[in-house]
Amino acid sequence: MCSIDLNQISADDWDELNDPRPDVTEFDRVVDAALSRRGFVSGLVAFGSGAAAMGMMPGAARAMETSRFAFEPIGLQTDATVHVPDGYEWQIVARWGDPLYSDVPAFDHATGGAADYTDRVFGENTDGMEMFVVGDRQVLVVNHEYANRKVNLPQATGGTPRDAQDVKKLQKLQGVAVIEIARGESGWQIVQDSSLNRRITHLTPIEIAGPAAGHALMQTQADPEGVLALGTMNNCGSGKTPWGTYLTCEENFNGYFGATDTDAIYPAMVQDGYERYGIGTDGWGYDYHKWDERFDTSVTPNEPHRVGWVVEIDPANPDANPVKRTGLGRFKHENAAVVLASDGRVVIYMGDDERGEFLYRFVSSGTYVPGGSTEGLLDNGTLSVAKFNEDGTGEWRALTPETTGMTSAAEILIFARIAASAVGATTMDRPEWIAVNPHAIEAYCCLTNNKNRGVKPNAGGDDTSVNGPNPRQSNKYGQIVRWRPVNEDHGADGFEWDLYVMAGNPEVYDNAYGGSDNVTAGNMFNSPDGMVFDSAGLLWIQTDGDDSNDGEFAGMGNNQMLAGDPVTGEIARFLTGPKGCEVTGLTWSADRRAMFVGIQHPAAPFPDGEGKLPRSAVIAVTRSDGGLVG
């Protein structure tokens, strides 16, 4: 049946393999309903008629007959470099440690750079990014999500910070980079010393705006008014407003906090929040709390409330403070997909990437008028959360004092997860990036995987039994859900949904874990994560999954980027990353003749060779004939 490595499979999968379920089960029915819903988008017939049938179709029969892709799909790779199709080329644009200014020393592989200038170089762990045109200059804004401590602190045992200087170095490596880039004789490069170059780190002053600004839960001794935080943290995915600002999304912020007094007692609401958001006494090894009391919750208990937001940055104005937009809610933000409602209100779709957490939508109270004032647009509005019904419909449930039983808008936003649980939101398989189709009124969300699906509740105790858009127990491959709002209006409160793809391994499984019909031996992947539409309406899917190429993941190779046709369902592999990396972040040059792709946390020897530190990098992919790439 398969070449599965029995040492690697879970108890659930072992059970499934050895005690196959009846041909048609309730589980199949739910999967079938999710995939074969009629009348949603033409082309849905590309999906199979049932989960049991999906995996039994030979790969050739699954292939689509026509293709809108301008490239020949590539095979899987397991090596230490990047691969693109014939007729395409790639080059490094920026690596961790590359100087943004000419007076900064070249990268030092022995030390990983000194703390005094790590906020004057390109940061680590590139993630979400967007391109902005400022006058005749092209400005790339890139997130630097987290730190690879063992790599970034090569002289510290196990990557554990030795002192406050090591902590400061980590704090300055992460955050956001604003860099002017230009195409020269050696391709796309950073424009050193550009007046637009800027680093925003864990230490940068950030204004707090919106309904939670100034609330008692946002106040600290250093900022008694609760209106000015320091730093934006764990910057994962991105977003772009119609008025030319960048949105950076704070994700796993909890890992930076700990407590030196492990017996500290907190007010009940603070303690409940810590439990729901995963704030403990040890942190995740950054050890900020041992050297910087802002991150020691036993000293500064409200500091965690000041992280977990979406932050707006103006790339054209290096002197402007970034702003935390609390109206968009506090959770582990993946990205922020911005679109306008029919009447011009600003709609932002957002995922909360944790097992069994939720999908959110913000709708502004005011409307966007091109060239008009955008003051308050992201501060005043309604935050809602998605409820998916089994019949293919769904609704956005507003989070208000009336619906949640909570006392104020500020409290609801600071503890958005708790508010969302109160209104019965649908628990999801880790919502990652959301992308809005520029050619149809619909949106897509990567649900990357969820080993806890059907196994245990989320951190709020919500039931996580399989449900419509999350139909597989112990989901290790992930899926992409899409929804189309009623009345073709992203501001409407109802929608219809289906699954665009269920990732899986059709060579290993002949059940729902084999994936939907648009998954074949030739395009297999797991854990869809980054996702962006290009101007032509193709859906680019990036992965952050198991790259062992073994057992249940055999045939998938390294993490990759694929193109998806939203109409036919066809999916084709375009790019493979180096071993160990996640492929994440995608944007284009103004002329659409270069695509910029993020290669996060590759393993050595990428990109500088044997004996050198691995370095996250942004690459440019171009056509050899200079043609359009998106």
Contact positions vs Ca ion (CB under 5 A): 432, 448, 529, 544
CA distance 234 to 529: 16
**Chain position whose Cβ is nearest to Ca ion:** 544
Partner from Ca ion, ligand FEO, none binding residue 498, C-beta < 5-8 Å depending on class: none
Instruction: Please give the torsion angle defined by the CA atoms of residues 18, 23, 27 and 32, in that order, rounded to the nearest 10 degrees.
Output: 130
Choice between 357 and 529, CB closer to Ca ion? 529
Structure token digits, residue 34: 């999710």
Question: Rounded CA gap, 464 and 24, in Å?
Answer: 22
368 close to 344: Cβ distance less than 8 angstroms: yes
The answer to the question of residue 334 lying near ligand FEO (CB under 6 A) is yes
| Pick 145 or 379: Cβ nearer ligand FEO | 145
Site map 163..202 versus ligand FEO, x via CB under 6 A: ----------------------------------------
* CB of residue 236 to ligand FEO, shortest distance in Å: 3
Kind of pairing between the strands at 175-184 and 479-485: unpaired
Report yes or no: 448 and 544 within 8 Å, Cβ to Cβ.
yes
Which of Ca ion, ligand FEO, none sits in contact with 145, Cβ below 5 to 8 A by type? ligand FEO
307 binds ligand FEO (CB under 6 A): no
| Number of residues counted as binding ligand FEO (CB under 6 A) | 6
C-alpha distances (whole Å) from 141 to each of 237, 377, 405 are 11, 22, 39
Phi then psi dihedrals of residue 299, to 5 deg: -105, -40
Q: Least distance in Å: CB of 49 to ligand FEO?
A: 33
Residues 6 or more apart whose Cβ sits within 8 Å of residue 65: none
* 251 interface partner picked from ligand FEO, Ca ion, none, CB below 5 to 8 A per type: ligand FEO
Q: Give the nearest distance from C-beta 161 to ligand FEO in angstroms.
A: 22
Judged by CB under 6 A, the residue of 223, 296, 314, 432 near ligand FEO is 432
For ligand FEO, the binding residue among 353, 442, 534, 552 (CB under 6 A) is 353
Site for ligand FEO, residues 68 to 87, rule: CB under 6 A:
none
CB of 95 or CB of 601, closer to ligand FEO: 601
Question: In three state form, how does the secondary structure of 66-116 look?
Answer: CCCCCCCCCCCCCCCCCECCCCEEEEEEEECCCECCCCCCCCCCCCCCCHH
Q: Is 552 in the site for ligand FEO (CB under 6 A)?
A: no
Q: Does 354 bind ligand FEO (CB under 6 A)?
A: no
Among 178, 236, 142, residue whose Cα is nearest residue 587? 142
Distances 187 to 133, 138, 489, 588, 594 between C-alpha atoms, Å: 18, 14, 42, 14, 10
Ranges of H-type helices in 364-450: 401-404, 409-414, 416-422
Least distance in angstroms from the C-beta of 432 to ligand FEO: 5
Least gap, CB of 28 to Ca ion (angstroms): 28
Can you tell me the distance from the alpha carbon of 276 to that of 434, in angstroms, rounded to the nearest whole number?
23
350 binds ligand FEO (CB under 6 A): no
Nearer to ligand FEO, 334 or 411 (CB): 334
Q: State which of residues 104, 167, 236, 434 lies at the interface with ligand FEO (CB under 6 A).
A: 236
Establish if 251 lies at the interface with ligand FEO (CB under 6 A): yes
Pairing mode, strands 228-230 and 235-240: unpaired
Q: Does 534 bind ligand FEO (CB under 6 A)?
A: no
Q: Which conformational region is residue 210 in: left (phi greater than 0), alpha (psi within -120 to 50 degrees), or beta? A: left
Nearer CB in complex with ligand FEO: 328/422: 328
Please identify, using beta-carbon distances, which residue of 209 and 503 lies nearer to ligand FEO: 503
| Residue 13 binds to ligand FEO (criterion: CB under 6 A) | no
Residue with Cβ nearer Ca ion (432 or 570): 432
**CB closer to ligand FEO, 119 vs 251:** 251
Query: 235-240 and 205-209 as β-strands: parallel, antiparallel, unpaired?
Result: unpaired
Is residue 429 a contact residue for ligand FEO (CB under 6 A)?
Answer: no
Q: Which of 145, 357, 510, 552 binds ligand FEO (CB under 6 A)?
A: 145
CB–CB of 501/571 below 8 Å? yes
Measured CA to CA, the distance from residue 481 to residue 498 in angstroms comes to: 6
Residues that bind ligand FEO (CB under 6 A): 145, 236, 251, 334, 353, 432
